[in-house]
């Protein structure tokens, strides 16, 4: 039986943070053993908010290097840069013509980001491009963090709509969301998710933050009233978030951590948490620092991936164009 297919991307919108790692990349690493995985760097999504061109180039290479440093293996997984495959934009446009504006306007992420940036058409249309990113590869699964559930749902709706109107073409993939760690919260505001594009760097632990920086950020992370180290996301969102981070990065159940820190103060717990997170990121950072010395090699790996992805993407697009009557 052919392998099942999975597709997912990470935006080149800033430094990858530990939420991206736990919610998405950790799943990629596991999935690449069983699935045919396509993992891409979403540079076209990144520009839905203003980006400095030089920074965007650096961030794109940096995300690619982190993919490799975290354990994505180009022998198993097809790694590529979104903008290298024009079929994404072409199918994105076609899917726009099937998408009511109202559906895009009610997307939670659009509402959040448009508040901050003013309403750009690209930001509104982001989910149709994302639907194209997914549907081109006819995947069975889309491994993402919880914040992307709504967007994957739109991709499924569009697949159904297209198939009904033009004949069986797309597969309806399911979103793969971790039971725990699918929504890591911001350190400076544990009621909102951790985000690359957060206005303060104290919001996130970047995968590339120094050990000292990580310890500092955890130390000043917003915590809750009371003094008990207990998982209770409703009443103790700050402490619960730190417990989840520690649990996910050390493969230790939250329960075990609660017991371990039962008699400790917030201060002691945060010191331990900062130490552990810094320790766990060190080996990834070491690999990253080696890889990033050679950006040309990283780009070559991405280009090899593009060739592989392009074959399927262009085939799907050709079929779509024919079905809708483009000649």
- The footprint of ligand ATP (CB under 6 A) covers 10-11, 13, 19-20, 22-24, 144-145, 147-148, 182-184, 193-197
| DSSP string of 298-322, one letter each residue | HHHHHHHHHHHHHHHHHHHHHHHHH
Give the whole-angstrom CA distance, residue 16 versus residue 13.
8
Nearer to ligand ATP among residue 177 and residue 320 (C-beta): 177
Judge contact between 7 and 134, C-beta under 8 A.
yes
Nearer to ligand ATP among residue 6 and residue 298 (C-beta): 6
Judge contact between 74 and 301, C-beta under 8 A.
yes
Min CB(259)–ligand ATP separation in Å:
25
Nearer to ligand ATP among residue 37 and residue 182 (C-beta): 182
Judge contact between 56 and 63, C-beta under 8 A.
no
- 76 counts as catalytic: no
**Residue pointed to by tokens 């999504």:** 45
One of 26, 36, 113, 236 is an active-site residue; which one? 113
Min CB(194)–ligand ATP separation in Å:
4
Nearer to ligand ATP among residue 32 and residue 162 (C-beta): 32
Min CB(151)–ligand ATP separation in Å:
9
- 193 counts as catalytic: yes
Min CB(166)–ligand ATP separation in Å:
29
One of 34, 138, 179, 193 is an active-site residue; which one? 193
Nearer to ligand ATP among residue 20 and residue 82 (C-beta): 20
Nearer to ligand ATP among residue 245 and residue 320 (C-beta): 245
**Residue pointed to by tokens 């992420």:** 109
- The two three-digit tokens of residue 201, written as one number: 């760097």
Q: H-type helices in 37-141, by residue range?
A: 43-46, 53-70, 87-96, 101-105, 108-117, 121-135
Give the whole-angstrom CA distance, residue 309 versus residue 322.
20
Min CB(197)–ligand ATP separation in Å:
3
- Sorted by sequence, the CB contacts under 8 Å of residue 85 that are 6+ apart come out as 306, 309, 310, 313
Give the whole-angstrom CA distance, residue 153 versus residue 143.
13
Min CB(185)–ligand ATP separation in Å:
7
Judge contact between 223 and 244, C-beta under 8 A.
no
Give the whole-angstrom CA distance, residue 53 versus residue 14.
12
Judge contact between 190 and 182, C-beta under 8 A.
no
**Which residues participate in catalysis according to the annotation?**
113, 193, 196
């Amino acid at each position: 039986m052919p392998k099942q297919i999975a597709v997912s991307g990470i935006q080149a919108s800033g430094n990858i943070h530990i939420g991206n790692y736990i919610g998405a990349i950790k799943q990629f690493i596991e999935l690449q053993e069983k699935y045919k995985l396509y993992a891409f760097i979403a540079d076209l999504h990144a520009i839905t908010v203003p980006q400095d061109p030089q920074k965007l180039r650096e961030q794109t290479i940096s995300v690619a290097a982190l993919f490799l440093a975290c354990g994505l293996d180009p022998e198993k997984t097809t790694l590529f840069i979104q903008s290298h495959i024009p079929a994404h934009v072409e199918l994105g446009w076609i899917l726009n013509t099937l998408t009511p504006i109202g559906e895009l306007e009610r997307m939670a992420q659009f509402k959040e980001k448009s508040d901050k940036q003013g309403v750009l058409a690209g930001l509104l249309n982001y989910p149709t491009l994302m639907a194209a990113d997914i549907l081109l590869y006819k995947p069975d699964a889309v491994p993402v963090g919880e914040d992307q559930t709504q967007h994957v749902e739109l991709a499924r709706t569009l697949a159904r709509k297209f198939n009904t109107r033009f004949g069986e073409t797309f597969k309806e993939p399911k979103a793969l969301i971790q039971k725990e760690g699918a929504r890591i919260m911001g350190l400076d505001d544990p009621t909102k998710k951790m985000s690359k594009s957060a206005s303060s760097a104290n919001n996130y632990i970047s995968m590339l933050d120094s050990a000292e920086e990580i310890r500092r950020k955890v130390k000043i992370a917003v915590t809750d009233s009371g003094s008990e180290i207990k998982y209770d996301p409703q009443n103790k969102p700050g402490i619960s978030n730190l417990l989840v981070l520690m649990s996910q990065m050390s493969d230790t159940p939250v329960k075990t951590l609660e017991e371990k820190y039962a008699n400790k103060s917030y201060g002691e717990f945060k010191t331990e948490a900062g130490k552990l997170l810094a320790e766990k990121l060190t080996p990834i950072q070491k690999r990253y620092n080696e890889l990033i010395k050679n950006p040309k090699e990283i780009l070559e790996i991405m280009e090899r991936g593009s060739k592989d992805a392009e074959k399927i993407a262009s085939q799907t697009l050709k079929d779509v164009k024919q079905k809708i009557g483009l000649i």
